[in-house]
Amino acid sequence: MPLPDSEHAAIASRLDEMVKRHEYAAAGIPRYWVVDRDAALTVTLHHLGRSGEYEVATKMPLAWLLNTAPADHLG
């Protein structure tokens, strides 16, 4: 039985995030942002930790983020 489109999209999104997280870490990219498709459009800022794994630095609604300076989130 095939998955409904919404379930397929959710699985593809999680897989995409896992692959990108690994590739970005291997490339040494210090930060990346993920915008969830929830009602608040939650933004999660990940930063590359000393272990070479990404850690969640902060989460916030997109509307709040757009009303702040980027430097407020790069500490």
Structure tokens at 56: 């969640």
Residue 46: Cβ within 10 Å count: 21
Give me the number of domains the chain comprises: 1
Domain that holds residue 51: 5-73
pLDDT tens sequence across 4-31: 667 767 777 777 788 888 999 999 999 9
pLDDT tens sequence across 47-59: 999 999 999 998 9
Q: Is residue 54 exposed (0-12), middle (13-18) or buried (19+ Cβ within 10 Å)? A: buried
pTM (whole model) above 0.85: no
